[in-house]
Amino acid sequence: LAKTTQPISMDSYEGQEVNITCSHNNIATNDYITWYQQFPSQGPRFIIQGYKTKVTNEVASLFIPADRKSSTLSLPRVSLSDTAVYYCLVRPGGSYIPTFGRGTSLIVHP
Amino acid sequence: DGGITQSPKYLFRKEGQNVTLSCEQNLNHDAMYWYRQDPGQGLRLIYYSQIVNDFQKGDIAEGYSVSREKKESFPLTVTSAQKNPTAFYLCASSIDSLGISNEQFFGPGTRLTVL
């Protein structure tokens, strides 16, 4: 199965905007792209989901180019509590089962 | 109060023993999943079930077994054949696995330690 690719880690400072990009070359035609947040010793939590162009909710924005082979999670004005691992989730073409990427460990510094 | 629960939160077992991890959901979801997470690693799929009385192997099914006799329950047994079972185990559910949405709801996890 095709896998997603994300940066292993990122560092930022409070108040900055953070953009995390995920590559998913084998995404299914009708598949949505979903992002999760995970704190240590907890289950992942849904953040945002989109199909194309741009989606925005109260915590993040998701940008998806026309070819849909990548997506970018944007966290505006991060705080210390945004320190977590962020996962990009898609279902590779032909598969019914979503595949988690390795995740990006975001550390927000004071 | 809908959600997905896992028990116990912490579990210790001796080598050579089988142990069963519980996962229950009251969200009326058709699909359920079991993942394993090792320190500093992502989630790896062990087993999944799209419907009652049916389940499929994921990427790392060896040494594990599951059952899906009821829609709300998807217990995972870690057998003595699993060579390195110490890990954090996460159960999840979704409305269905054939739909467009990837939204999965996760339980709080069970941390298994083999002594």
Partner-chain contact A97 B98, CB within 8 Å: no
CB contact under 8 A, B102 and A101: no
Confidence of residue A94 (pLDDT cuts 50, 70, 90): low
CA distance B104 to B95: 8
User: Which residues lie below 8 Å from residue B37, measured CB to CB, with a gap of 6+?
Assistant: B43, B44, B87, B88, B89, B90, B109
Q: What is the pLDDT of residues A48-77, one digit of tens each?
A: 999 888 999 999 999 999 999 999 999 999
Residues lower than pLDDT 70 in chain B = 1-2, 97-102
Contacts (Cβ under 8 Å, ≥6 apart) of A46: A34, A35, A36, B103, B104, B105
The CA-atom distances, in angstroms, between A108 and each of A39, A49, A87, B25 are 13, 23, 17, 34
Give yes or no for A39 touching B (CB within 8 A).
no
Say yes or no for a CB contact (<8 Å) between A43 and B97.
no
Tens of pLDDT, residues B14-43: 988 999 999 999 999 999 999 999 988 889
